[in-house]
Amino acid sequence: MSSAAVHPFTVEPDPAVALTRPPVVVVDPVAVRRQRRRRLLVNVIRLLVLGVTLGGWELGVRTGHIDAFFVGQPSGVASQLKTWAQHGTEVGPLWTQVRVTLQEALTGFAIGVVAGIVAGITLGRVRLLAEVFGPFIKVLNSIPRIVLGSIFILWFGLGPSSKVALAVVLVFFAVFFNAFQGTREVDRNLVANARILGAKRRHVTMQVVLPSALTWIIASLHVSFGFALIGAIVGEFLGAQQGLGLLISHSQGTFNPNGVLAAMVIIAVVALLAEGAISLLERRLLSWRPPQLSGADL
Amino acid sequence: MDAIDLDGVTKAFRTPHGTYTALHDLNLSVPASEFCAIVGPTGCGKSTTLSLVSGLERPSVGHVRVGGQPVDGISSEVGFVFQNDAVLPWKTVLDNVSAGPRWRGASKREAVQQARDWLLRVGLAGFEDRHPHQLSGGMRKRVALAQSLINEPRVLLMDEPFSALDVQTRSIMSNELLRLWDLTKPTVLFVTHDLEEAIALADRVVVMTAGPATVKDIFTIDLPRPRSVQEIRFTPQFVELYHEIWQSLRSEVELTYTRSMTALEVV
């Protein structure tokens, strides 16, 4: 391009050119009001469902139709949480238990995700490795991985590392298979185009394959954080000095259903917060996708 | 010296049902800066020809040369505009267009500067930060054109680039292509199944036989340039050329159609 002459061509009257003009927004007040009323209705019914379930349970216990010794009762769970928060639990302060379990789960999650992505993309890109390791991975995957927990306790002891290890193996396979599949499903046209434009192998991996596989990988993150929590808690069941899993097994041992349920409530809150964080991450990383394709609002 | 030279090229693919010969003894030379269109029945091996010239595929028999050099892997002299969208959906328009120079070792500033120039040329100034899904099909094609042309390829390969566009956008894009072609005058090999498009754009139209494909006829299009793709099809010369080339193409199209029908009966 020796001549610096620039030829600004006229743009065709293309529908998307309208992007440059302020969009015409039509607000239908009736539709807006109807939508708002509907949302209110849904929320009211949700509260009713919750109230009826918990209220019925509580009422059943108080009238003697349900045996609180076996199933606990909502008010008991609430007061158990209050006691734990104010006076600590039987195995130590409540906050410490939450922190220990969360730390194990997050560490296992991080290691498992990174290892899964690296292994998945490497095997997806290098055919020879995929052919060599394919059967081994299948065998490893077919083992119910929870049983590895016992081995990890023997190897790493009762401390957090055995729980982290269990979380890692659970997370790794979920992420690995998605990363592998995502790498294999990359649009061959995109790769051919990038190569002709001058992309080297590493450019193709980092700028074409990885972003393309990211849709698959992120889908697996939602499931795998749950797996990380399972790994940490089951690891604590099997033998631990601290953590929510220990708290649950301790409550179980002392015939305290309210304690088990209270720990479950805490875990549910943690899991929901993590799910929210992953959805935020998803929205950021996949912002290039057309809106109707990114994250369902469920 | 010819910009593109295909010499006795045969290309066979191995499929689960045995070997499939896409091209058989194909000879074609395209001089530098010529706009050459290839027409032929569907699935006859037109796209295979382009893959061989680009270096994405190798010939089973024969030689492919670009700029006198035998094609050995992907050449930096070549640009390719695909039939389907091949712009990266996760990169912005600016990043898509500057990707070529970046990958070829230009500094970021230089690449972005070039990309802005090319976006201006293709009429997309102001759309630098959009993602491809926010653009219409015609605009995505403009991005693809800028993305290829920014590398200033000596040879531009186009595989039915406008076939997914609606009729109006298509003729506008054809005019745009001719104007852009005039800027750097690369050698163009343009594959299409649309005879009107081929005649309106090209200096020469190559008719391919039903697969395995080889060159059947070559027609010189001596319509004056600059051309307006919308207007030129009403001139008597155009109609005459269309008639002449269609006579050659027709039997191949009919043969392909008959084959596909009998194949259906066998299945």
For B23-32, the pLDDT digits (tens) are 999 999 999 9
| Model pLDDT for residues A163-201, shown as the tens digit of each residue | 999 999 999 999 999 999 999 999 999 999 999 999 999
**Residue A287: what pLDDT?**
84
A chain contacts of residue B152, beta-carbon cutoff 8 Å: 1
**Residue A21: what pLDDT?**
56
Cα angle vertex B166, ends B162, B170, to 5°? Answer: 45
Q: CB–CB of A196 and B131 under 8 A?
A: no
B chain contacts of residue A214, beta-carbon cutoff 8 Å: 90
Closest residue to B82, CB basis, from A193, A200, A211: A193
Q: CB–CB of A200 and B103 under 8 A?
A: yes
Q: How far apart are CA A288 and CA B131, in angstroms?
A: 6
Q: How far apart are CA B198 and CA A257, in angstroms?
A: 79
Size of interface A-B (CB pairs under 8 A): 102
**Residue B29: what pLDDT?**
95
Q: What is the mean pLDDT of the segment spanning B229-249?
A: 93
Q: What is the pTM of this model?
A: 0.80
Closest residue to B176, CB basis, from A9, A20, A200: A9
What is this model's ipTM? 0.89
Q: CB–CB of A197 and B90 under 8 A?
A: no
In sequence order, the β-bridge partners of residue B6 are B28, B64
Q: B204: helix, coil or strand? A: strand
Q: Which CATH superfamily is domain A73-285 in?
A: MetI-like (1.10.3720.10)
* Mutual angle of helices A74-87 and A29-62, in 10-degree steps: 90
pLDDT band per the 50, 70, 90 thresholds, residue A24: low
| Model pLDDT for residues A198-236, shown as the tens digit of each residue | 999 999 999 999 999 999 999 899 899 999 999 999 999
Q: Does B110 touch chain A (CB under 8 A)?
A: no
pLDDT at A296 over 50: no
pLDDT band per the 50, 70, 90 thresholds, residue A25: low
Over pLDDT 90: what percentage of chain B? 72
Give the minimum alpha-carbon distance from A193 to chain B in angstroms, rounded to a whole number.
Answer: 6
Which residues make Cβ contacts (< 8 Å) with residue A180, sequence separation at least 6?
A119, A120, A121, A123, A124, A130
Q: What DSSP designation does A287 have? A: T
**Residue A5: what pLDDT?**
40
Domain ranges, ordered by start, for chain A: 73-285
Listed range (A99-103, A168-172, B1-5, B91-95) with the worst mean pLDDT: B1-5
Q: What is the mean pLDDT of the segment spanning A34-38?
A: 92
Closest residue to B123, CB basis, from A10, A195, A199: A10
* Mutual angle of helices A160-184 and A94-125, in 10-degree steps: 30
**Residue A83: what pLDDT?**
93
Q: CB–CB of B103 and A194 under 8 A?
A: yes
Q: CB–CB of A198 and B100 under 8 A?
A: yes
**Residue A23: what pLDDT?**
58
Domains of chain B (ranges; CATH) run 2-77+153-266 (3.40.50.300)
